Amino acid sequence: MLSRYQACRAIPALFLAFVACDGFIAVDGHVFARAEGDTVLPSQAFVDRNAPDTTGLMRLDGAVVSVFHVPADTALADSAQVWVDHDTTSSNGHFHTASVTAPSRFTALLRVRRAGYRPVDATFVHDTILHRAIVILTPEGTRR
């Protein structure tokens, strides 16, 4: 049996071992909207890669952003899944999701939805803690 002193010394080591077994995923970014009637491109999402110039695009509030740690989970009906994070864009189009995840490299999926705009899904490789995303949504009814 451990003495009280030994037990107290063991707690930080146990905590560190527990935390070290988990990974972390965060996605930070902005959602923009193309002008009404703009039929140049479909909705697009750029995660950890260069996005086109967003000058002149409107920052879009109220878009629901979901990050699925397992892309196959998008087919599940239960929205309270363990491996999904959600956020809604603020008035300046900003969103941020963050949570504990598997401690390995894997493919994740960014999904963005807002009423009146064409949806977009984008897979990306989770190989770093923080991912950057730029999303550009196209208004509904503007199919090319």
Question: What confidence score (pLDDT) does residue 65 get?
Answer: 97
What HEC string does the chain produce? CCCHHHHHHHHHHHHHHHHHCCEEEEEEEEEEECCCCCCCCCCEEEECCCCCCCCCCEECCCCEEEEECCHHHHHCCCCCCCCEEEEECCCCCEEEEEEEECCCCEEEEEEEECCCECCEEEEEEECCCEEEEEEEECECCCCC
In a domain, 12, yes or no: no
Higher confidence at residue 114 or residue 3? Answer: 114
Assigned domain for 11 exists: no
Q: Please report whether residue 58 resides in a domain.
A: yes
User: Which pLDDT does position 69 carry in this prediction?
Assistant: 85
Domain that holds residue 44: 22-137
> For the chain, what is the domain count?
1
Domain assignment present for residue 127? The answer is yes
What mean pLDDT is reported for the chain?
83
CATH number for the domain including 95? Answer: 2.60.40.10
pLDDT of residue 1: 53
pTM: 0.79
pLDDT value at position 88?
A: 97
If you average pLDDT over residues 11-36, what whole number do you get?
74
Residue 8 lies in a domain: no
In a domain, 30, yes or no: yes
Indicate whether 14 belongs to any domain.
no
Residue 120 placed within a domain: yes
Question: What is the predicted pLDDT for the residue at 141?
Answer: 73
